[in-house]
Amino acid sequence: MYVATTTVSVLGDTTEDEFGDETDGTTVLAADIPAALVEATRTAMEPVTGTPRIVRTHVCRLPPGTAVDESHRIKDEVTGEIYIVVAVTRNANPFLAQPLRADLKRTGRAA
């Protein structure tokens, strides 16, 4: 069970630019999906220099049965931020459908 904090759209498809390179498309595969989107931070140390680095992670909880995988992107409809789906985990429970967990990476500014 999760408490939705936003609504998201699932984006998919790819297109080619003028140079023939593959780019992410903006086709909306599903919209207005209630989701819990959370950002967490942790500090990691550089192995050689020992310099601390802040690592940001994003996790999105989606309703069971949402069609999303690593080839899709998720757009937060409230903020307009777009995230790459890194991994999707479907937890098993024989009695109650569990929400999907999508590990995300933010794109765009200061990603």
Q: Is 60 exceeded by the pLDDT of residue 111?
A: no
Q: How confident is the model at residue 2 (pLDDT cuts 50, 70, 90)?
A: confident
111 in any annotated domain = no
1 in any annotated domain = no
For position 97, what pLDDT does the model report? 82
15 in any annotated domain = yes
From 26-30, 69-73, 81-85, 93-97, the region with the lowest mean pLDDT: 93-97
Q: Which residues of 10-39 are buried (b: 16+ CB within 10 A; e: fewer)?
A: bbbeeeeeeeeeeeeeeeeebeebbbbbee
CA distance 73 to 8: 10
Domain total of the chain:
1
Q: Could you tell me the residue range of the domain that residue 53 belongs to?
A: 6-34+41-60+67-106
89 in any annotated domain = yes
Q: Is 90 exceeded by the pLDDT of residue 74?
A: yes
For position 1, what pLDDT does the model report? 65
